Amino acid sequence: MSNIDAVFRFAPSPNGELHLGHAYSALVNFDLARASGGKFLLRHEDIDTARCTPTFERQVEEDLAFLGIEWDEAPRRQSEHMHDYAAALEALAAEDLVYPAFMSRGEIRAHVERFEAEEGRAWPRDPDGAPLYPGLDRHASTGERERRMSDGERFAWRLDVERAIEMVPALTWDEHGASPLGESGAIVARPLEWGDVILGRMDIPTSYHLSVVVDDAIQGVTDVVRGRDLFYATSIHRLLQALLGLTPPRYHHHPLILDADGRKLSKSAGDTSIRSLRKAGLTAEDIRRMVGLSGRPGGPAGDILRRRES
Ligand code: GLU
């Protein structure tokens, strides 16, 4: 990964306090950026304006500074770039690759329960375990879509994934870390596993999947280093890059820091938050050691990832 043009990023959502898992991811990105002579960027993924707050954003920056992390450009705040995502969504709409999907969460649940009761088999689920969108309105006529939208019915813009995969050749991405099952190297993208994902909402012209792909391209990110919980989502990211004509970065999915019971840390996991550890008197070096990193921030990073994966 040594490359002076390398661009790394840490992209948290400021909707809670950073915990040890975030600290690990941020430190690894920062160390790798410094070791390669490349850049380290900070991006606030704050499209969910109901849950993201300026206070959490300030705390993210304070926690990173406490850990000895410095970012090389002003942080990018997604809420300030809605026009970039809207343009990408429009480009997909122009190719008929998105449609207004009107089924609410409750309607999806009822549809799935009815299917499972009647058919005696499970409705397909995505890699995160959520039922795939039934897509009953995927092929609605333009007239019907317009009528329902102008009636004020709630909807989300969803990707027509079957149509999308017909438009691009079989896709792979370059994985320098590993999947939860240990796969590495050229990974075949399987976007169909996710079904018709949400790419935009009525009031926000984007979703996590769309904005992460657009931003990584706009910011010239060459190396996406993030937790293995996002490994499978990369199939969708790779598909969106191909549809939008964006250069894919290299990916490195790292192991997650788990709690004492082997569970993924959450933003409400109070005692593993960086702030509470800091208040309890721990130093940045203590936190580096807790997540299995030695040395100083920005120090040699060569064996960090290999060591944690072995
Ligand atoms: N904002 C995402 C999160 O906090 C991370 C996005 C990414 O690294 O691709 O989980």
pLDDT of 303 above 50: no
Please tell me the distance between residue 13's alpha carbon and the centre of ligand 1 in angstroms. 7
120-165 confidence digits (pLDDT tens) = 999 999 999 999 999 999 999 999 999 999 999 999 999 999 999 9
Residue 230 in contact with ligand 1 by CB distance below 6 A? yes
The 3-state DSSP class for residue 147 equals helix
Produce one character per residue of 102-119: b if its CB has 16 or more CB atoms within 10 Å, e if not: bbeeeebeebbeebeeee
Decide: 12 in ligand 1 pocket, CB within 6 A: yes
The beta strand positions in the chain, using DSSP E, are 7-10, 39-44, 76-77, 98-101, 156-159, 172-175, 185-188, 198-201, 223-227, 250-254
Please tell me what DSSP assigns to residue 245: T
For the Cβ of 256 lying below 6 angstroms from any atom of ligand 1, the answer is: no
Maximum pairwise Cα distance, the chain? 63
What is the 243 CA–ligand 1 centroid distance (Å)? 21
Residue 140 is which amino acid?
A: A
CA of 21 to the centre of ligand 1 (A): 12
Sequence-distant (6+) residues with CB within 8 A of 283 are: none
Predicted confidence band at 302 (pLDDT cuts at 50, 70, 90)? very low
Average pLDDT, the chain: 93
Q: Which long-range contacts (CB under 8 A, 24 or more apart) does 46-50 make?
A: 46/13, 46/14, 46/15, 46/77, 46/78, 46/79, 47/78, 47/79, 47/82, 47/85, 47/204, 47/206, 47/207, 47/208, 47/211, 48/13, 48/15, 48/204, 49/79, 49/204
Looking at the DSSP assignment, which residues form a beta bridge with residue 253?
226
Sheet holding 250-254, edge to edge: 76-77, 39-44, 7-10, 223-227, 250-254, 172-175, 185-188
Domains of the chain: 1-80+254-310 (3.40.50.620), 81-248 (3.40.50.620)
Structure token pair of residue 33: 């950026």
* pLDDT value for 259: 78
Helix then strand then coil, in percent of the chain rounded to 5, is: 40, 15, 45
Ligand 1 atom at minimal distance to the Cα of residue 212: 9
Residue nearest to atom 3 of ligand 1 (CA): 12
Q: Is 59 in the pocket of ligand 1 (CB under 6 A)?
A: no
Distance of CA 181 to the CA centre of its chain: 19
Residue nearest atom 2 of ligand 1, based on CA coordinates: 12
The whole-number pLDDT of residue 262 equals 77
Chain centroid to Cα 183, Å, comes to 19
Pairing between strand 223-227 and 172-175? Answer: unpaired
Task: Return the closest-CA partner of residue 20 out of 297, 284, 305, 219.
Answer: 284
* pLDDT beyond 90 at 78: yes
> Alpha-carbon distance 54 to 80, whole Å?
13
Tell which atom from ligand 1 comes closest to the C-alpha of 12. Answer: 4
pTM over 0.85: yes
Number of H helices and E strands in the chain, helices first, is 11, 10
The CB-side HSE value for 244 (13 A sphere, CA atoms) comes to 31
Taking only the tens place, the pLDDT of each residue in 206-240 is 999 999 999 999 999 999 999 999 999 999 999 99
Cβ atoms of 140 and 99 closer than 8 Å: yes
- Report CA(66)–ligand 1 centroid distance (Å): 21
From 230, 252, 257, 264, give the residue whose CB has the most ligand 1 atoms within 8 Å, as the site to mutate.
230
Centroid of ligand 1 to alpha carbon of 156 (angstroms): 21
> Would you say the CB of residue 11 lies under 6 angstroms from ligand 1?
yes
Residue 185 CA to residue 187 CA, distance in Å, equals: 6
Phi-psi region of 97 (alpha: psi -120 to 50; beta: other; left: phi over 0): alpha
Distance 293 CA to ligand 1 centre (A): 21
Atom 4, ligand 1: residue with shortest CA distance:
12
Confidence bin at 46 (pLDDT 50/70/90)? very high
233 lines ligand 1 (CB under 6 A): no
CA of 141 to the centre of ligand 1 (A): 36
- Identify the pLDDT of residue 309: 44
Q: Quick one: which H or E segment has residue 9?
A: strand 7-10
Q: What are the tokens at 22? A: 């975030």
Residue of 7, 10, 13, 206 to mutate, ligand 1, most atoms within 8 A of C-beta: 13
Q: Which atom of ligand 1 is nearest to the CA of 227?
A: 8
Radius of gyration of the chain (CA): 20
pLDDT score at 107: 97
Contact 163, 92 (CB under 8 A): no
Residue whose CA is at the smallest distance from ligand 1 atom 7: 11
201 pLDDT more than 80:
yes
